[in-house]
């Protein structure tokens, strides 16, 4: 795999639950080194539009044909606006990898969905798409799901795009932008 | 000079003259490679607050003590909101470099200032602070002004932080963020 493959990383902005919408940011990078493009859009907090808006972000960028994989910070944006990673992959034909630093607590997620959403079953089904894998790193392990590529390819993409710590640059940079744009100064890790 | 010195690059968002305010973005990078922080603030289009707002952006970031130089995309942000680079340097004690890809047409600037601003003399004085230097690159030359460092140091900082083309990464990345946040997809060069 070439070190300079184009990757799209996506993360959402910090928000409060008083807000109806939050912004999401995409960055196209060559491997983990060179920023080529910044994308932004808006999704509803706890809504159900993240799949279509992420898909549109991918379909509409002039970089689409160059993007070899989509990296998402977890399976949901804007609270419980869960992304249908299978649909994104089927529609765009671009492999997709979700990454979290903490092991998802599925019991807790299910309880929260049941408590807060009439359509919890639909969201729960989306949460469960793809198998969760633990991936060892030189620091703590990370947890990933993926569609459209093998686990070895997913691991290779993560490795080639991670510079410091365990978060691939396209997600880390999308997080810094989302945080800095919203708060005035970026804080925290993706 | 170390290759990984911290640099702050600043650029403004695209705007129309119907808008009263526009956003500015700062990025702290290690040399030309690693993004550490994203800052954002707001200035008035054609106003006179860019000096104080850029200074506050620098004074308030937790990275201030690490920043070895400030790189600005030209001498003004938000139209003719001209920055007093001497004041920024005196207040923050951090060297500052302004960079443009095109040679400034000072006659044209003076005419525009006279035509549009009662306080044109004040703005014109700020435009003229620092001597303009042409710097050769492997592509087209760029035009710089600087305060608080020698021309050789300024050239070295520009060289170590430029990866492709002629624009140092901190300015190029600030430009991509400003453009992507405002337009949905980033376009153009800083």
Instruction: State pLDDT tens for residues A99-125.
Output: 999 999 999 999 999 999 999 999 999
SS3 B174: helix
Encode pLDDT of B41-81 as tens digits.
999 999 999 999 999 999 999 999 999 999 999 999 999 99
Q: Do A41 and B177 touch (CB under 8 A)?
A: no
Q: Measured between beta carbons, which residues in chain B are less than 8 angstroms from residue A28?
A: none
Q: Measured between beta carbons, which residues in chain B are less than 8 angstroms from residue A37?
A: 176, 180, 185-186
Output the pLDDT for position A16.
Answer: 87
Over the Cα atoms of chain B, what is R_g?
15
Asked casually if ipTM beats, i.e. exceeds, 0.85, the reply is yes
Best of A170, A186, A188, A189 to disrupt the B interface (most B CBs within 10 Å) is: A186
Q: Which secondary-structure segment (H or E) carries B112?
A: helix B106-116
Closest by CA position to A188, among listed B180, A174, A4, B173: A174
Residues in chain A whose Cβ is within 8 Å of chain B: 25, 33-41, 60-62, 163-164, 172-173, 176-177, 179-181, 184-186
SS3 B60: helix
Q: Measured between beta carbons, which residues in chain B are less than 8 angstroms from residue A60?
A: 185
Q: Give how far the C-alpha of residue B137 lies from the chain's centroid of Cα atoms, to the nearest Å.
A: 19
In chain A, the residue whose alpha carbon lies closest to the alpha carbon of B182 is: A40
Q: Do A173 and B35 touch (CB under 8 A)?
A: yes
Task: Select the residue of B36, B173, B180 nearest A40 (Cβ to Cβ).
Answer: B180
Q: Do A38 and B163 touch (CB under 8 A)?
A: no
Encode pLDDT of B91-119 as tens digits.
999 999 999 999 999 999 999 999 999 99
- Measured between CA atoms, how close is B149 to chain A, in angstroms? 27
Output the pLDDT for position A5.
Answer: 96
3-state secondary structure B138-171: CCCCEEEEEECCCHHHHHHHHHHHCCCCCCCHHH
Q: Do A184 and B25 touch (CB under 8 A)?
A: no
Integer Cα distance of B172 and B181 in angstroms: 14
Task: Select the residue of B35, B164, B186 nearest A176 (Cβ to Cβ).
Answer: B35
Number of Cβ pairs closer than 8 Å across A and B? 68
Encode pLDDT of B134-168 as tens digits.
999 988 999 999 999 999 999 999 999 999 999 99
pLDDT values of chain A reduced to their tens digit, one per residue, 190 residues: 888 999 999 999 999 879 999 999 999 999 889 999 999 999 999 999 999 999 999 999 999 999 999 999 999 999 999 999 999 999 999 999 999 999 999 999 999 999 999 999 999 999 999 999 999 998 899 999 999 999 999 999 999 999 999 999 999 999 999 999 999 999 877 7
In chain A, the residue whose alpha carbon lies closest to the alpha carbon of B162 is: A34
Q: Do B37 and A186 touch (CB under 8 A)?
A: yes
Q: Do A38 and B181 touch (CB under 8 A)?
A: yes
Integer Cα distance of B26 and B58 in angstroms: 9
Q: Which tokens sit at B175?
A: 């430009």
Output the pLDDT for position A188.
Answer: 79
Q: Measured between beta carbons, which residues in chain A are less than 8 angstroms from residue B164?
A: 34
DSSP per-residue string spanning chain A: --TT-EEEEEEE----TT-SEEEEEEEEEETTTEEEEEEEEEEETT-S-HHHHHHHHHHHSTTGGGEEEEEEESSEETTTEE--HHHHHHHH---EEEEESS---HHHHHHHHHHH-TTHHHHHHHHTSS--EEE--SSS-EEEEEESS-HHHHHHHHHHT--SSSS-HHHHHHHHHHHHHHHSB--S--
Q: Which secondary-structure segment (H or E) carries B73?
A: strand B67-73
Task: Select the residue of B35, B39, B163 nearest A185 (Cβ to Cβ).
Answer: B39
């Amino acid at each position: 795999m070439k070190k300079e493959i184009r990757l799209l990383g996506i993360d959402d902005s910090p928000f409060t639950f008083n807000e109806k919408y939050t912004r999401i940011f995409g960055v196209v990078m060559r491997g983990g080194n060179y920023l080529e493009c910044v994308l932004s859009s808006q999704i509803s907090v706890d809504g159900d539009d993240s799949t279509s808006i992420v898909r549109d972000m991918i379909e509409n960028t002039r970089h689409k044909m160059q993007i070899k994989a989509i990296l998402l910070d977890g399976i949901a944006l804007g609270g419980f606006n869960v992304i249908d990673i299978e649909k994104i992959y089927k529609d765009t034909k671009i492999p997709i990898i979700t990454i979290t630093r903490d092991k998802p607590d599925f019991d807790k997620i299910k309880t929260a969905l049941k408590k807060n959403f009439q359509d919890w079953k639909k969201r729960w089904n989306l949460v469960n798409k793809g198998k969760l894998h633990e991936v060892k790193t030189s620091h703590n392990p990370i947890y990933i799901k993926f569609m459209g590529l093998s686990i070895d390819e997913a691991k290779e993409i993560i490795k080639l795009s991670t510079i410091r710590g365990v978060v691939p640059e396209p997600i880390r940079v999308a997080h810094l932008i989302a945080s800095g744009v919203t708060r005035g100064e970026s804080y925290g890790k993706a």
